[in-house]
């Protein structure tokens, strides 16, 4: 990921600043460039074709306010001086702007907060995070508003030993592990308390020895009826700094629960969540 680009969407909230600080920490380790992006929409009342002049003034005013917000953001985030970064402003829906920027700028990773403003805005921003996680062509790192940002020393990779069809999907996880010298805990979750690994699953598990070559890693097996709580409990008990998973339409984590585990983790986890692609 060296010389790569990391997209950091922001709404200028404290949560977004926390995500930015996390992104800066990663950019320093990976020698990556940050793209700070803010997406906005013009209020419907200004979009009347008969009010063309008012529309222009309104858009200009919005963009001036955004520039002022970025200026303040830079003043209150001196760490930005330690990395290469670029500011992007786009008139678009947040999710669409993110997906578009990933493609047009060749981003390798998206880092964004799971909550932003209060009330409905918080719900919408949280929904955007999960939606981007599902649709983004590149990995997405979701940073909870109360997540610590001091280190990445232990990563839990939640999987079922069946979901790795292409080892390239693990590249971001491997690069982060190497950059931070972090240990990877491969966590297998099963709802059946009497179940054990099949010979096929054991064979798949052995592939990780090649995937994680020269990386400190270990294997763990837990039984739980609630995968979300199981992952979070494991993360808390084992001082985990990052949870990694592969969200898929028919993947392991979605199949374990009628409600998507990756979605619930995106909303409730206190630990940063990396959705691999």
Tens digit of each residue's pLDDT (9 = 90 or more) over 73-92: 889 999 999 999 999 999 99
CA gap 245, 164 in Å, rounded: 11
Local confidence band at 144 (pLDDT 50, 70, 90 cut-offs): confident
Q: What is the mean pLDDT of residues 88-117?
A: 89
Fold of 154-275: Rossmann fold (3.40.50)
- Residue boundaries of the structural domains of the chain: 5-143, 154-275
Angle, in degrees to the nearest 10, between helices 94-105 and 120-135:
30
- Predicted TM-score (pTM) of this structure: 0.85
What is the band of 196 on the pLDDT scale with cuts at 50, 70, 90? Answer: low
For domain 5-143, give the CATH number.
3.40.50.620
Cα–Cα distance between 82 and 149 in angstroms, integer? 16
Query: Does the fold of domain 154-275 match that of domain 5-143?
Result: yes
Under the banding of pLDDT at 50, 70 and 90, the label for residue 117 is very low
How high does pLDDT run on average in the chain? 81
Higher-pLDDT residue of 162 and 226 is: 226
Cα(267)–Cα(129) distance, rounded to whole angstroms? 9
CA atoms within 13 Å, Cβ hemisphere of 219: 13
Mean pLDDT calculated for residue range 138-147: 88
Q: How sure is the predictor about 256, in pLDDT bands with cuts at 50, 70 and 90?
A: very low
pLDDT for position 268: 61
pLDDT for 126 equals 55
Rounded mean pLDDT, 142-170: 81
Q: Quick check: 134 pLDDT over 90?
A: no
Contact 80, 27 (CB under 8 A): no
**Which residues make Cβ contacts (< 8 Å) with residue 164, sequence separation at least 6?**
170, 204, 207, 211, 246
Name the percent of the chain lying above pLDDT 90: 42
Q: What is the pLDDT of residue 257?
A: 38
The mean pLDDT of 154-179, rounded to a whole number, is 85
């Amino acid at each position: 990921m060296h010389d790569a680009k990391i997209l950091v969407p922001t709404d200028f909230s404290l949560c977004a600043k926390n995500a930015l600080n996390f992104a800066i920490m990663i950019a320093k380790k990976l020698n990556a460039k940050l793209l700070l992006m803010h997406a906005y929409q013009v209020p419907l009342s200004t979009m009347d074709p008969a009010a063309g002049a008012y529309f222009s003034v309104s858009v200009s005013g919005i963009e001036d306010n955004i520039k002022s917000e970025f200026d303040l953001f830079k003043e209150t985030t001196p760490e930005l001086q330690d990395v290469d970064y670029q500011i992007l402003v786009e008139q678009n829906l947040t999710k669409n702007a993110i997906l578009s920027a990933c493609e047009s700028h060749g981003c390798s990773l998206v880092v964004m907060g799971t909550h932003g403003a209060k009330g409905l805005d918080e719900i919408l921003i949280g929904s955007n995070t999960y939606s981007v996680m599902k649709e983004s062509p590149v990995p997405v790192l979701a940073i909870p508003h109360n997540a610590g940002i001091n280190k990445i020393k232990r990563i839990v990779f939640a999987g079922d030993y069946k979901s790795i069809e292409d080892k390239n999907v693990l590249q971001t996880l491997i690069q982060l592990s190497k950059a931070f010298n972090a240990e990877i805990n491969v966590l297998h979750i099963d709802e059946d308390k009497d179940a054990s690994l099949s010979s096929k699953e054991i064979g798949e598990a052995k592939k990780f020895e090649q995937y994680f070559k020269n990386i400190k890693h270990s294997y763990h097996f837990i039984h739980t009826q609630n995968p979300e709580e199981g992952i979070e409990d494991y993360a808390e008990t084992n001082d985990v700094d990052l949870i990694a998973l592969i969200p898929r339409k028919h993947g392991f984590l979605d199949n374990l629960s009628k409600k998507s585990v990756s979605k619930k983790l995106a909303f409730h986890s206190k630990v940063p969540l990396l959705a691999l692609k």
